[in-house]
Amino acid sequence: MVLIVKLVSIFVILCGCLAVLRPDTLKKVIEYVKKGNRIYYASGIKLGIGVLMMIAAKYCSIPWVILFFGALSVFGGAMGFVVKKSFVLKIVEWYEKKLQKKIYFAGISILIMGVLLALAA
């Protein structure tokens, strides 16, 4: 179970590095997710990862950190299904506009979250 959390943390760290080093790739990923029903797939993946992290938290060295990030992931993934698709797309577009100016700060914060997950696992 700890291996799952470590793999998730490595993925988050790689996403943070990608956002800092190649911000145009992150924009392409956001555009890809906005097409069709892919937003629901992303929400389902986020929900599943959150549930796995919450289950694996009791095996980790600092379980409350893993529980916190898992609960955030479950909440975000569930909101993707509860809220209307048009509203979710508006939020993604707003986030994308805000992100253009501060993409390096977003990448660094993603990187920090990944490191926290790795250290807590």
Q: Is the pLDDT of residue 40 over 90?
A: no
Residues 27 and 2: their CA atoms lie apart, in Å, by 31
Residues 100 and 19: their CA atoms lie apart, in Å, by 11
- Average pLDDT score over residue span 11-24: 87
- Average pLDDT score over residue span 17-38: 83
* pTM of the predicted model over 0.95: no
Question: What is the reported pLDDT for 73?
Answer: 92
CB of 49 within 8 A of CB of 11?
no
- Average pLDDT score over residue span 21-44: 83
- Average pLDDT score over residue span 9-31: 85
- Which residues are CB-neighbours of 9 under 8 A, at least 6 positions away? 114, 115, 117, 118, 121
